[in-house]
Amino acid sequence: MTSFSPPDASAPQAEDAVETRARQEADDPHSPVARFGPSKPLRLDAGVLLPDLQIAYQTYGEPNAARTNAVLVCHALTGDQHAASLNPVTGKPGWWETMVGPGRPIDTDRFYVICANVLGGCMGTTGPSSTNPATGAPYGLDMPLVTIRDMVNAQAMLLDHLGIEKLLCVAGGSMGGMQVLQWAASYPERVFSALPVATAARHSAQNIAFHEVGRQAVMADPDWRGGHYLAEGVMPYRGLAVARMAAHITYMSDQALHRKFGRRLQDRAMPTFGFDADFQVESYLRHQGESFVQRFDANSYLYVTRAMDYFDLAADYDGVLANAFKGSKTRFCLASFTSDWLFPTDETRTIVHALNASGASVSFAEIESDKGHDAFLLDEPELFAIAHGFLDSAARAFGLPPARGR
Amino acid sequence: MALPEETPYAGAPRRGGVRVDLVVVSEMVKPGSRVLDVGAGDGALLELLATTRDCDARGIELSREGVNGAVARGLAVIQGDADVDLAHYPDDSFDYVILSQTLQATRRPRWVLEQMLRIGRRAIVSFPNFGHWRSRLDLLVNGRMPVTENMPFRWYETPNIHFCTIRDFVALVEELDAKMERAVALDSSGHRVRFNMPWWVWNLLGEQAVFLLSRKG
């Protein structure tokens, strides 16, 4: 996600191709889709029914005969269902291939792994860029606001559709971790074990503030057109790119930025005394912004950041987080990273204390890393060892046969 | 609450490959119990309790390496500080709360013991006895702080900031008005000091002590 490559002056045609693919994915994705039709609407926290729900998902591995080896992977803000398979829009590998695959901690030789695009997303699950069946045009801002709980309720419908009664594990980082916590609170009987990484039980004021900066950048772009840009044939590229640039800084640590770029200049020996991208770090951020806007829908960015802002699990349980996990039989394993200042260890520790207070079984490890919040997506052998040990122990306790010798 | 890797227990007396003091602790636990091990280290005791006593065994450990190793072995251990984190556990949430070779490294040993007796119906505490004759001899003859196999650190680098003797511990238990259900002292070769000996003999010959406590009433 953060490997450095200079911005390429890629041909406009190639860019168009990426965008065209991205637009196609919203309604007709390159992955299996569950369509629920008007008879099975999703009741949203916003107080309205969402008819014609569509969920795009990927699966890896095979279900066992009793369908007891299912692991649900939940993606983060700008992720998608392609956790461990080639992304059809970018052509890049899945976003969690370090964690999911044959012989990986979430071992697809052993487990049936499901990953769905979130509600409000733009990769085939119903979201603001999907076609509203009532009008034949994209929803845009007519799409009701969604919450993390709505996302989880939609995933529960998908599991019913796939015939999965109980999950061996729900795993995810960042916003994916929020979904994991919501799963454990909303459907404790369906979750045998939970692996939330680099996350929080509520979005902090600082994080809401960062999101607001991003949304304002999108909405300040004249091409946003009050959210009707798709109908008017334009895209708020500049606003969304700025939003992504600002957000990207929060995913990294000061140390990681220094290690990667320091104060080095970009393809020049001297500063230009202008506002070009003199510094490598500027060039890198511009590249991140540019490539992001080709694959992600601006309104989706508004909706999904909003869902994170609204997340406050304790608020649904009289302000006491422990009550969210009262009597929970779920086994939990939490991990945080020392240099993550977006979802710092203290947020995880708050969850651990609540789980202790509720009597749940919990493991918690803080992993030393200088890679910031992004660490959960990167090569972190300690995370892999912990996830592997936790899942293996959960699988055995759940009655699955031991892993074949590897 | 970590005893760093290069510590004590490499040369500690063992039975069937397992440290004798851990065996003594585990034998005090009724099979099938819910157990919290405070200062779980690398999880050796948790593993012993899970495999030989069929316990629902969980741990707290301060050191990151200890925790990560234990979790990677599938044990339920959280990274945390006993001096702070015990406050978050509800009353009576465990059958036993164990403090194995950790008491002397806590900042607030008395508070930790109180919390253990609040969280668990019973508490098991094992610690190195500073009243052992060799420690006394070191101080008396050499005038130096003792460095032994159980207490391998020099005074300026030791994590063990609250050493006590068996007599000191018994006095604290009385102050806390806890009931002493069982007590075992182990000599330097891991054998039990005969239990019909008076306290002062235990305090001289016991290199380690293991106590099983419960709340009165």
Q: Has residue B184 got a pLDDT over 60?
A: yes
- Domain assignment present for residue A256? The answer is yes
At residue A173, φ and ψ (nearest 5 deg) are -115, 155
Active site residue A353: no
Within 13 Å, how many C-alpha atoms sit on residue A322's CB side? Answer: 12
Q: Which two tokens stand for residue B127?
A: 């610690």
Active site residue A373: yes
CA distance A97 to A21: 22
- Domain assignment present for residue A405? The answer is no
CA distance B191 to B185: 8
Strands B76-79 and A33-35: unpaired
pLDDT tens digits along A228-240: 999 999 999 999 9
- Domain assignment present for residue A403? The answer is no
What ranges in A89-231 are assigned the alpha helix state H? 148-162, 175-186, 205-220
Instruction: Give the model's pLDDT for residue A405.
Output: 60
Q: Are A395 and A112 in contact (CB under 8 A)?
A: no
Q: Has residue A406 got a pLDDT over 80?
A: no
Q: Has residue A9 got a pLDDT over 60?
A: no
Q: Smallest Cα–Cα separation from B96: which of B40, B30, B178?
A: B30
CA distance B187 to A52: 74
Instruction: Give the model's pLDDT for residue A15.
Output: 56
Position A45, amino acid: D
A contacts of B71 (beta carbons < 8 Å):
333, 363-365, 386, 389-390
- Domain assignment present for residue A195? The answer is yes
- Domain assignment present for residue A336? The answer is yes
- Domain assignment present for residue A404? The answer is no
**Cβ separation B68–A385 shorter than 8 A:** yes
- Domain assignment present for residue A2? The answer is no
**CATH number of residue A84's parent domain:** 3.40.50.1820
- A365 close contact with B: CB closer than 8 A: yes
pLDDT tens digits along B123-161: 999 999 998 998 898 889 999 888 887 788 898 999 888
CA distance B186 to B98: 18
ipTM, interface predicted TM-score of the complex = 0.88
**Cβ separation A365–B64 shorter than 8 A:** yes
Would you tell me how many other CB atoms lie within 10 Å of the CB of residue B148?
14
pLDDT tens digits along B25-78: 999 999 999 999 999 999 999 999 999 999 999 999 999 999 999 999 999 999
- B58 close contact with A: CB closer than 8 A: yes
Helix axes B20-27, B44-52, angle to 10 degrees: 50
Instruction: Provide, for chain B, the percentages of residues in helix, strand and coil under a 3-state DSSP scheme, each rounded to the nearest 5.
Output: 35, 25, 40
CA distance A232 to B133: 89
State which residue of chain B sits closest to A393, comparing Cα positions.
B74
| Mean of pLDDT values over B212-216 | 94
Q: Which two tokens stand for residue A9?
A: 């002056």
The neighbouring-strand residues paired with A72 are A114, A170
Structural domain boundaries enclosing A97: 7-397
Q: Smallest Cα–Cα separation from A347: which of A169, A197, A184, A187?
A: A197
Instruction: Give the model's pLDDT for residue B152.
Output: 85
CA distance A91 to A305: 25
Q: Which two tokens stand for residue A348?
A: 């995880």
CA distance B138 to A43: 74
- B88 close contact with A: CB closer than 8 A: yes
Nearest CA to CA, how far is A323 from chain B (Å)? 13
- A331 close contact with B: CB closer than 8 A: yes
CA distance A299 to A219: 9
- Count of pairs with CB atoms under 8 A, one residue in A, one in B: 65
| Residue whose entry in the numeric block shows the structure tokens 């590229």 | A237
Nearest CA to CA, how far is A257 from chain B (Å)? 25
Distances (CA, A) of B44 to A218, A332, B59: 54, 21, 11
CA A144, A148, A150, A156 dihedral sign is positive
Nearest CA to CA, how far is A374 from chain B (Å)? 20
Instruction: Give the model's pLDDT for residue A17.
Output: 76
Q: Smallest Cα–Cα separation from A128: which of A116, A144, A115, A117?
A: A144
pLDDT tens digits along A208-228: 999 999 999 999 999 999 999
Tally the domains of chain A.
Answer: 1
pLDDT tens digits along A334-380: 999 999 999 999 999 999 999 999 999 999 999 999 999 999 999 99
**Confidence band of A14 (pLDDT split at 50, 70, 90):** low
pLDDT tens digits along A271-299: 999 999 999 999 999 999 999 999 999 99
State which residue of chain A sits closest to B68, comparing Cα positions.
A365
Q: Are A3 and A261 in contact (CB under 8 A)?
A: no
State which residue of chain A sits closest to B94, comparing Cα positions.
A359
Q: Has residue A328 got a pLDDT over 50?
A: yes
Exactly one of A297, A340, A369, A374 is catalytic; which is it?
A340
